[in-house]
Amino acid sequence: MLRKRILGTLAALALSAASLAQSPMRVVIPAEAGSDWDRAGRALGAAMLSVGAATTVEYANHGDAGGTRALAEFLKSSKGDPMTFLVGGQDLLVAAELDPASPRPQDGTPLARLAVGYFAVFVPAGSPHKSMADLARAFKADPGSVAWDAGTPGSAQHLLVAYLARTLGADASRIRLAPGGAGAAAGIGKLHELAPAIKAGRVRALAVSAPKAVSGIPALKEQGIDLVFGNWHGLFAAPGLRPSQRDELLSRVKAATAAPAWQALLAQRGWTPVYMHGSDYARFLDEESRSAGFLAGTVGLRKRR
């Protein structure tokens, strides 16, 4: 009897996978071609093809300010569609918190958190700040004296500066961004993108926001600054899915994350796998929304009421 039940279960799973593989998968990417979300979506699509989770994959890029318009359209047009999912992450969640008219990513079906990328704190080669301790002292004493090359207001890089200010006991409302990096005294950047400038001696990396040193660059935490900060990337399925539809899609995604196409992207971007799904992922998203809203207020950005 037990053997029959096992064989029946295996047959059902095989039939489910075969059915899914015959349907086109649609990956919605709320950003332009070449962005992190675009690369993640296309690598995951390639991985799903390689494991037989789909026979075809369609990609829909919708670049806009922060991805909120693409998010709203995704939630509206894909309701109940088990073959469509949206690639997003921390920047999308923050953009939604800064736009009272925007839905939240978790208004869809939270599917899985996949990976996290950490940042480097850097200074120009000729900077008087020779160490992270030097920069931290100057920033704590007078936050406005340090102009940061840290992306746009509300970006993950900007929020890392806000977290740094709070950790050091500095006034986060006095953070000063340097548009385009012009005249910046310090910066926050993705390590794989900074690597050529570091190698050429144009900038010096003082710390990474990872839990431990990366490529010989010590972590903030290892230098007495109790801060770990990562820019996470995840997936959101359509709203209105039945649990069985969600679980079937999730199983395909989980299998794809072990495929070479996905593993190659992690190595290329320097991302760390941090797989999370189900109620844990849903709680994580709600906590991230609350934290992002709070931080947005500390740096003077409009947030949801």
Q: Per-residue pLDDT for 20 more than 80?
A: no
Q: What is the mean pLDDT of the chain?
A: 90
Average pLDDT over residues 35-40: 95
The CATH topology of domain 117-223 is D-Maltodextrin-Binding Protein; domain 2 (3.40.190)
What's the CATH class of domain 2-116+232-298?
Answer: alpha beta
Spatial separation of the C-alpha atoms in residues 305 and 296, rounded to whole Å? 12
- Does the predicted TM-score (pTM) go above 0.75? yes
- 3-class SS of residue 277: strand
Contact 208, 219 (CB under 8 A): yes
Spatial separation of the C-alpha atoms in residues 8 and 52, rounded to whole Å? 21
Task: Show the tokens assigned to 135.
Answer: 């920069």
Give the pLDDT score at 15.
43
Average pLDDT over residues 76-80: 96
More confident residue, 168 or 99: 168
Give the pLDDT score at 99.
87
Domain boundaries, the chain: 2-116+232-298, 117-223
Spatial separation of the C-alpha atoms in residues 85 and 102, rounded to whole Å? 18
Per cent of the chain over pLDDT 70 is 91
Establish whether domains 2-116+232-298 and 117-223 are of one fold: yes
pLDDT digits (tens, 9 = 90+) for 171-184: 999 999 998 888 89
